[in-house]
Amino acid sequence: MPSRLNRRDFVLTGAAAAALGLAPRAEGAPAVLQNKFRPVVISSANGNKYTHDGQETCVARAFRLMTGGSDVLEALIAGVNIVELDPRDTSVGYGGLPNAEGVVQLDSCCMHGPKKRAGGVAALEGVRTPSRVAHAVLQNTDHHLLVGAGAQRFARQMGFTVEEDLNTETSRRLWLEWKRRLDPEHFLDPEKRAQSGFEAGRSMVRDGLIDPAHYFGTINCDGVNAKGEICGVTTTSGLAWKIPGRVGDSPILGAGLYVDGDVGAAGSTGRGEANLYGLCSYLIVEQLRQGKSPKDAGMEALRRVKANTIEKRLLDPKGTGNPKFGLNFYVVNKAGEFAGVSMYESDYAVCTENGPETRKTESLIPGPEPTW
């Protein structure tokens, strides 16, 4: 079994580089781009964390397939499937942290720039790969978003395996621990729920039982090929312990993902409610259209989110006036320029002809998220 590809293994030479429209190069020499469009795949950090059979990560698989001639969206979805199917990532797909009733409900959407088509599913139960169901919505319907029982019925009709329960032993054990720590009387009071429901979850993060990135965790993955074809996909189990039926930003076009085939793509991870309020992925792509760089476009969205965050329960308890949640955006333009930006310091993943990498984001506010 070959071992996981590293950056050195990935450096392109000869025919592979020629197929990409890149000049063949000696290892260590800078790539000479012969194309206007530089192929790139960008994602949240979990896109370079989990491997299939110890080999490729999401961004590496997506880049390999995309530059090998696959449709960009099909390549990206094949990439995020690695994370959806991996029970170690408790923020996406199989083994995602469930809702308040212990049921795993998944959200996803995808957009195809050249075809100008989109598809999404929300609160979908029983299918490990919601990104593939979202893709089936894009390919086979006249709709953009199917939810709940209707989304599941559609998936079954399209031949997807529908399971009774997507919990793993780990996700069920964590849910039971959350229930144990919860004060259920305050379920519908946002202020008190912050102190009971969220606090129960936060105390589990502080106790090292769950990774903070998995509380609102998600994977977004966007790519552009050498022809300048741009696509994107976002998939998640959403907010851990959410009220059943809660839908976050991930499956909402313009929020968890937006792609304009002539301009670029943006997608998000982090507190979905903050992003939904400003439809930030759409905002970012509009900023790209006006000529902003991916980094500046993403920073503008973060500034808007910060300005819209005024409720005390959402602010840093230290009194800085800053939001107390994390929110990340992954941005790429048609030329293949990209940026990962975040409210607080964070990571993102990228794959170019130099191979898969995990990089630090540009953060609006220095330092780590305050509450964890």
Residue placing its CB nearer to ligand GLY in the complex, 270 or 323: 270
Q: How far is the CB of 263 from ligand GLY (least distance, A)?
A: 23
Q: Considering beta carbons, is residue 250 or 363 the nearer one to ligand GLY?
A: 250
Part in contact with ligand GLY (CB under 6 A); list of ranges 1-9, 194-202, 268-276, 342-350: 268-276
267 is in an annotated binding site: no
For residue 110, what is the enclosing H or E element? strand 106-112
Q: Kindly report the number of other CB atoms within 10 A of residue 348's CB atom.
A: 29
Q: Is 206 part of any known ligand binding site?
A: no
Closest approach of Cβ 1 to ligand GLY, in Å?
34
* DSSP H or E segment with residue 349: strand 347-352
Which of 216, 282, 330, 348 is the binder for ligand GLY (CB under 6 A)? 216
Residue 271 is assigned to a ligand binding site? yes
- Residue whose pair of structure tokens reads 């530059």 in the numeric block: 67
Tell me the closest approach of the beta carbon of residue 183 to ligand GLY, in angstroms: 23
Q: How many CA atoms lie within 13 A of 124 on its CB side?
A: 36
14 marked ligand binding residue: no
- Looking only at residues 241 through 260 of this chain, which bind ligand GLY when binding is defined by CB under 6 A? 248-250
Question: Would you say 249 is a known binding-site residue?
Answer: yes
Of the candidate spans 127-135, 187-195, 264-272, 317-325, the one that interacts with ligand GLY by CB under 6 A turns out to be: 264-272
- 248 known member of a binding site: yes
DSSP one-letter string for 50-73 = -BSTTS-BHHHHHHHHHHTT--HH
**C-alpha radius of gyration, the chain, whole number:** 20
Q: Is 272 annotated as a binding-site member?
A: yes
Cα–Cα distance measured from residue 360 to residue 342, given in angstroms and rounded to the nearest whole number? 10
How many residues contact ligand GLY, by CB under 6 A? 12
Conformation bin of residue 170: beta by default, left when phi > 0, alpha when psi is -120 to 50: alpha
- Closer of 118 and 280 to ligand GLY (Cβ): 280
Residues 342 and 363: beta-carbon distance below 8 Å: yes
Binder to ligand GLY among 120, 232, 270, 278 (CB under 6 A)?
270
Q: Residue 313 in contact with residue 276, Cβ under 8 Å?
A: no
What tokens does 50 get? 């989990």
311: Cβ contacts below 8 Å, ≥ 6 apart: none
Q: Are strands 219-224 and 355-360 parallel, antiparallel or unpaired?
A: unpaired
Distance in Å, CB of 256 to ligand GLY, minimum: 6
Q: Between the CA of residue 154 and those of 74, 108, 137, 320, what are the distances in Å?
A: 20, 14, 9, 47
Q: Do 266 and 222 touch, CB atoms closer than 8 A?
A: yes
Residues 282, 232: Cα–Cα separation, whole Å: 13
CB closer to ligand GLY, 37 vs 241: 241
**Is residue 74 a contact point for ligand GLY (CB under 6 A)?**
no
Question: Which CB atom, from 17 or from 274, has the smaller least distance to ligand GLY?
Answer: 274
Question: Does the annotation flag 247 for ligand binding?
Answer: yes
Which range, of 10-18, 114-122, 235-243, 297-305, touches ligand GLY by CB under 6 A? 235-243
User: Does 13 qualify as catalytic in the annotation?
Assistant: no
**In this chain, which of 108, 236, 352, 361 binds ligand GLY, going by CB under 6 A?**
236
Which residue of the set 67, 90, 218, 309 is catalytic? 218
Mask for 272-301, x = binds ligand GLY (CB under 6 A): x-----------------------------
Give CA–CA dist 93/104, Å, rounded.
Answer: 8
Applying CB under 6 A, the residues found at the interface with ligand GLY are 216, 218, 236, 238-239, 248-250, 269-272
Q: Which residues are catalytically annotated?
A: 218
